[in-house]
Chains A and B, each alone.
Chain A
Amino acid sequence: MIGNAVFRVEGLRKSFGRNEVLGGIALDLHAGEVTVLMGANGAGKSTLVKIVSGVYERGGGTMTLAGQDFAPNTPAEAIRAGVVTVHQNINDGVVADLDVATNLTLDRLSGKGVPTLFNPVRVRREAKAVADRMGLAIDLKARVSDLSLADRQMVAIARALAHQPKVLILDEPTSSLSSAEADRLFALVDRLREQGVAILYISHRMSDIRRLADRIVSMRDGVVSGAFDTKPLDYEGAVNAMLGRKIHLDQIVARSSARAVLTIEGLRIAQGARPISLTLGDGEVVAITGLVGVGKTALAETLFGVRRPLAGTMTMNGKPYAPRSAGDAIAAGVFLVAKDRASSGIIGGFNIERNVSLPFLKRMSNFSVLKRRLERATARRQIEQLGIVCRSEKDQMSALSGGNQQKVMVARWMAQNAALFILDEPFQGVDISARRDIAAKLRASANGRATLLFVTELDEALETADRILVMSEHTIVGEHRNADVDLDRLLAEVAGGPLHSAA
């Protein structure tokens, strides 16, 4: 362990309006070390990164770089000072239509003292120096748009490293890479570590974290909830600190089901993943939990017909079920409240009434002419049922709070009877009372269908489900009846490692 931190953050705060996102963060980064930052969605990771990289202004606290005060006003200032960030979206870091050489030297094309004329020979010479320094084996004349994602990533990182940073922040760099591509990235990170760069590595992937981490810092609700730096690292402890249980009041009476609604056998949703087999019963609420990127949404989309499985069969109420589109799934009684309502759920130009009726227009029309009275009655009934706070069913969606918007999305799909009701991250961006309302409604109406939730937060699963399944690496790795859950085993399964707490 190195005593003095290169980069030190203390008491960092940030609020947006009345909403406090960071509540006093302390974080040390040491030269030649990879510090992994873990945190669920909304924990404040990206806000932290944006403050450090000069995108946001901090609300309070201090940051020091090599003993000196560090307060960047713009991303360019942060980079000049030696703190370089490679953002999650690879294409933000490169210009697709230019060649690799120009991309690598892009930051030297503007600013003071730069010659007006563009000299291709000089650019290529400088680019070659940058590429050699980090062992980048890519044709410098290739256009970035012709490169694979991994190569683009390498270019983006190389471009960042051309500044000789003291601190490098990698924000979920492997989220769109294959495992072979990720290996190249890891080799690069190893080399940078040897060169003495302090690296902050943000990731959800346990395999990445096991491979790279020297230290782990877990964040939860805007504060550091755990720091782990004694080897061997306590991965389960880190996951627990990130997802861990808050005290929750309502204990669930877990039910079990007599009649199977959906049976899945040998379903494979990704290359190289182990097949999934499971049964969902009538009246049962099942939650599938797991970290971001383990295939929860992929499974939800496969069940809903917008993604094809690689192998396997599904049986719905005794009949084969192989939906080829969302329309097929809906016709078979499979409804999905999709993740991220703003991009996949809400029709911005429509009011509440029209958002609710959207999937069932055919059932609400006569010879294709809409029965507007039925539409309005349905919307009113659903507003009443879910307790949506609004003036009337004619309200625009943008007038509603996040929780109420989500209630509209749930109300949309509860307007008709489902055989299988799937909700992908239904509690994201939803306040606690709306979350309770939705969960209670789901449980109260569960009879006559199977209900399947996909949630990252353990609390949400524990609060709503009869049965909890754990997903990791695109397959189901564990199952728990929500009566007396062995939390240690569950967390170990989420963390994806071998169970060693028994020893």
Chain B
Amino acid sequence: MELEWRDHGLELGKNGSGAGVRRMTLRDYAIRYGFIVLLFGLVAYFAIAADGFVSPQSAVFIFQSVAITGVLALGVTATLVVGGFDLSIGSVATSAMMAAAYVMVVLEQNAVVAVIVCLLIGALVGLINGWLIVYMRVPDLLATLGMMFLLVGLQRIPTEGRSIATGMTMPDGSVANGKFSDAFLALGRHRFDFFIPNLIPVSVVVLLVLAVLIWFFLEYTRFGRMMYAVGSNERAAELAGAPVKAYKIWAYVISGVFASIGGILLAARLGRGDIASGNNLLLDAVAAALIGYAVLGAAKPNAFGTAIGALFVGILLQGLTMMNAPYYTQDFVKGVVLVVALVFTFALSGRGRG
């Protein structure tokens, strides 16, 4: 039950066809640049078809709309790299959001405490996921699915299923008087000046910083390299001296922490602990990470691809919205894009190489 990215035809033992210089065929180009071309084509189309699509504000709006799912997608990328999967990210994010609200509104603590609590929740859930998968041998999809249900329920228990906002009545009849601190709300509402005053929201900066961090981590550090090795051939990685179990657990911790950061941003944007929000986070994030496989023909999970994947979905939805496409077509379009991307990755690039 894991996504197979050990592609490139692992047909070992058979005679390779490595002799002679091979030019890139049209299909190689299609696999490598197809998605990027599609992305630019999409931008060009919307630029012509939708008024006001090409403007700094529109660009920022797109970034802002994908910031939270992007952060989650970067986290799940880490688990995909080690050959796993994390279905609990959406509910980790909403749990973190509820926890932030609870800490500030009910317990009347400040922003720093709220952020720390959220990050701890993310790390703890990641540890438990990793422990279930590595030591209890529960298949990754099932372990994180179970964790997802558990968290969806757990986050409702302290308030008996109600959303959290200043002035709400608690189960014991008392009134919660705490409020979201200004510093915390700034995470969701402050905008940095960038040529134009008040342009770039904090969430977008967080997304960019995390994207660069995880990209550097996966591509340029020995830990990232070893994580890819674990995902490709666990036994070979172990025989090369890697503590495979630790790497797998760390991947889930990274995923959990990133999801909780997404939850913090969500809470800061909403300004309340909304029980009904965040439903789409899981699917959007997973779609972004899987679309990322197809970017530049990587055919494997990668941070750059994930970021492009998130952007792709954001541009598509923003464009459709501006062209007045009904909201309920959005999920359908996202699904189509994901399926096409998966075909790119698995059917086209899997064959013909190696």
Contacts and interface: CB of A to CB of B under 8 A. Distances in A.
Interface string B1-27: 000011111111111111001000000
Interface string B195-229: 00000000000000000000000001111011011
Contacts of B161: none
A344 B232 contact: no
Contacts of A306: 238-239
A349 B240 contact: no
Given A347-B229, A348-B6, A405 B12 contact: yes
B231 interface: yes
Nearest to B242: A327
Interface in B234-259: 235-243
Nearest to A396: B8
A207 B233 CA distance: 36
A349 B239 contact: no
B232 A347 contact: yes
A16 to B, nearest CB: 9
A343 B243 contact: no
Given A350-B232, A370-B221, A342 B239 contact: no
A359 to B, nearest CB: 4
Contacts of A401: 15-16, 18
A326 interface: yes
Q: Max chain B CB contacts within 10 Å: which of A325, A347, A350, A365?
A: A347
Given A361-B222, A365-B222, A396-B353, A342 B18 contact: no
Given A350-B229, A368-B222, A338 B239 contact: yes
B8 A362 contact: no
B272 interface: no
Contacts of B15: 401-402
B300 interface: yes
A395 interface: yes
A336 B12 contact: no
B236 A391 contact: no
B354 interface: yes
Contact of B240 (A326, A343, A391, A398): A326
Contacts of B7: 348-349
A362 B237 contact: no
Interface in B280-318: 300
Nearest to B226: A361
A343 B10 CA distance: 10
A354 B16 contact: no
Q: Max chain A CB contacts within 10 Å: which of B13, B17, B238, B242?
A: B13
Interface string B97-112: 0000000000000000
Contact of A344 (B18, B226, B239): B239
Q: For this complex, into which size category does the number of interface residues on chain A fall?
A: 35 or more
Instruction: Give the interface SS of chain A, mostly helix, strand, loop or mixed.
Output: mixed
Given A345-B239, A359-B241, A365-B222, A398 B228 contact: no
A346 B236 contact: yes
Contacts of A405: 12-13
A290 to B, nearest CB: 22
A243 interface: no
Interface in A446-473: none
A429 interface: yes
Contacts of A347: 228-229, 232-233, 236-237
Given A344-B239, A349-B5, A398 B233 contact: no
A358 interface: yes
Contacts of A341: 12
A397 to B, nearest CB: 7
Nearest to B233: A347
Given A347-B237, A399-B16, A369 B220 contact: yes
Contacts of A402: 12-15
A490 interface: no
Interface in A382-423: 389-391, 395-402, 404-405, 412
B330 to A, nearest CB: 34
Interface in A321-348: 325-327, 329-331, 336, 338, 341-348
Given A369-B220, A370-B222, A350 B228 contact: yes
Given A326-B239, A348-B6, A399 B13 contact: no
Q: Max chain A CB contacts within 10 Å: which of B7, B232, B243, B300?
A: B232
A412 B236 CA distance: 12
Interface string A427-455: 00100000000000000000000000000
Contact of B12 (A304, A350, A395, A398): A398
Given A338-B239, A398-B11, A402-B12, A349 B6 contact: yes
Nearest to B235: A344
Contacts of B235: 343-344
B10 A369 contact: no
Nearest to A359: B240
A112 to B, nearest CB: 36
B241 A354 contact: no
A168 B331 CA distance: 58
B299 to A, nearest CB: 8
A346 B233 contact: yes
A326 B238 contact: yes
Contacts of B238: 306, 326
A368 B15 CA distance: 36
B247 to A, nearest CB: 12
Nearest to A349: B232
B354 A369 contact: no
A399 B354 contact: yes
Contact of B16 (A362, A370, A398): A398
Contacts of B222: 361-362, 364-365, 368-370
Contact of B8 (A342, A349, A365): A349
Given A345-B236, A348-B8, A400 B226 contact: no
A29 B338 CA distance: 58
A390 B19 CA distance: 7
Nearest to B15: A401
Contacts of A349: 5-8, 228, 231-232, 300
A502 to B, nearest CB: 42
B239 A399 contact: no
A325 B300 contact: no
A341 B240 CA distance: 12
A330 B241 CA distance: 7
A443 to B, nearest CB: 24
A378 to B, nearest CB: 14
A304 B6 CA distance: 27
Interface in A360-386: 361-362, 364-365, 368-370, 372
Interface in A241-274: none
B81 to A, nearest CB: 10
27 contacts: A304-B239, A306-B238, A325-B241, A326-B238, A327-B243, A330-B241, A331-B241, A336-B239, A342-B10, A345-B236, A347-B236, A347-B237, A348-B8, A348-B10, A348-B232, A349-B231, A350-B229, A358-B237, A364-B222, A369-B221, A391-B21, A397-B12, A399-B18, A401-B15, A402-B15, A405-B12, A405-B13
Please give me the 4 A-B residue pairs with the lowest Cβ-Cβ distance, nearest first. A398-B354, A399-B18, A361-B222, A349-B232
Given A326-B240, A329-B241, A369-B220, 14 more contacts: A325-B241, A342-B13, A348-B232, A349-B6, A361-B222, A368-B223, A370-B221, A370-B222, A399-B16, A399-B17, A399-B354, A402-B12, A402-B13, A429-B13
